[in-house]
Structure 1
Amino acid sequence: MSVSAYIINPKNKEEEAFSIPLSSEKVFNTYWLLGCQQNNLDLIAEMSYGVEIGAENYISLINELSILKSWIEKELALDQSLEIVQKINLLTKELESIFKLDKFDRNDVILFIG
């Protein structure tokens, strides 16, 4: 299994094709969840079984991702952290593009991350 993000209410082919692979299940359970436990990051922890992200909660997720990224950079070796940090940066960029910059020209996009 792996953790990825995709749109659960797509309106066109571009939205249907949208997908962000984030982590293998092993890496997520080993590193992401440890960082969540140590920093009380509830939304990211919910990704282990799936969480819906929309316009109302994407900023909370971006804040949690920032905290997790800082923790990972501090606590993990560079070779362990590099790919995780890249995925966090990608997800943050896409969240801002979708919800802040209206990438899909609508405000009712719902991402499922899990």
Structure 2
Amino acid sequence: MRIAVFSAKPYDHTFISRANAAEHHVFNFFDVRLTIDTAPLAKGFEGVCVFVNDCLDASVLQQLYEGGTRLVALRSAGFNHVDLAVAEQLGMTVVRVPAYSPTQWQSMRWP
């Protein structure tokens, strides 16, 4: 599967590439946020992998769908930035992180 990764940071490249070693999916990493203006970058990709600041409103989902995207994978537990009703109408699958590990919160640094 070809997957466009938006809002990609260097650690996303490292982790995703390592996790993909046995799967052989093709990832293209974009450091820009997914918006209506950047959605054309995903044309021809079956999936997109996004973060909490990416926009997945009706217009973006429609443009992704028209470009061939059928899977939206969230790198977050939250999904309030996704228009789930529109994704369902379009027949797009949306997956997310089910929960954050309680032990990971201890290692986070807060300003």
Q: With structure 2 as the length reference, what TM-score do the two structures score?
A: 0.32
Higher relative contact order (CA 8 A, sep 6+): 1
By percentage of residues, which structure has more helix? 1
Q: With structure 1 as the length reference, what TM-score do the two structures score?
A: 0.31
